[in-house]
Amino acid sequence: MSELHLSSASALLARSRQPTAEELSGVPWLATLTPEEAAVAAADLRVLQAEPGEYVCRVGRPVTYWLGLIDGLLKMSNESDLGMPVTFTGLPPGGWFGEGTVLKHEPYRYNIQALRRSLVAGITVPTFDWLIERSIGFNRFIMRQLNERLGQFIAAREIDRLSDPDVRVARSLASLFHPILYPGVGDLLRITQQELGYLVGLSRQRVNQALRSLQGRELIRVEYGGVRVLDLEGLRRFRPM
């Protein structure tokens, strides 16, 4: 697989462009800023297209951008001590990630990989720091992100311990419909059964069985190219019959 060296500012700039007005409207934290702050952030924002299999972030690379997803699907993962891949979470549209890494100015401790062609946005670390220093609205957004992300990773650890595949798929789907972390999803997530299998660690066939079970319980509806959630709380609480 090829690799996006997004940890290099020059490489990012070479492949990136300015966002369109429609793309800017999909950046959730811009609405928390004053007009002056929003103008500075929008001028710094860059977007680029990541191809399937490309890495947006790699473990050990220095952080130079705070990143978000406008369209597509990303996977956050790492490797275990035994060299086995460990998936932390999927990252659907509307999600911004890595704020803890940017705040600490430390190298990435995880990989971010595109599962399909994805449109990634980012602002530079200096602009992120500038907003942290002066914007109350931005600070509130980041604090809420960190709090929700903590809860998400605690839930992910619980999912790792679950042996029932239907429950694993239900909880993983629920995490992808998080209205605060991923406001761009709404109630319809564009995802294939193969992609969901990558995130959950199950075969496409077993994911298909789980989706049929969840649909039978009227928690979701499988539609062409995606999954529509009908009962988010039900997904979070799902237990096999």
pLDDT at 209: 95
Q: For residues 75 and 96, give the distance between their C-alpha atoms in angstroms, rounded to a whole number.
A: 13
pLDDT at 81: 57
Q: What Cα–Cα distance (Å) separates residue 121 from each residue in 52, 67, 221?
A: 16, 6, 30
Domain boundaries, the chain: 9-154, 164-237
pLDDT at 123: 96
Q: What is the fold, at CATH topology level, of the domain defined by 9-154?
A: Jelly Rolls (2.60.120)
pLDDT at 1: 34
Residue 32 is classified by DSSP as: G
**Considering the entire predicted model, what is its pTM?**
0.85
pLDDT at 7: 43
pLDDT at 15: 82
pLDDT at 77: 84
pLDDT at 52: 92
pLDDT at 204: 93
Q: Give me the residues of the chain with pLDDT under 50, please.
A: 1-9
Which one of 1.20.58.1610, 1.10.730.10, 3.30.160.160, 1.10.10.10 gives the CATH number of domain 164-237?
1.10.10.10
Three-state DSSP at 91 gives strand
Residues 3, 60 contacting (CB under 8 angstroms): no
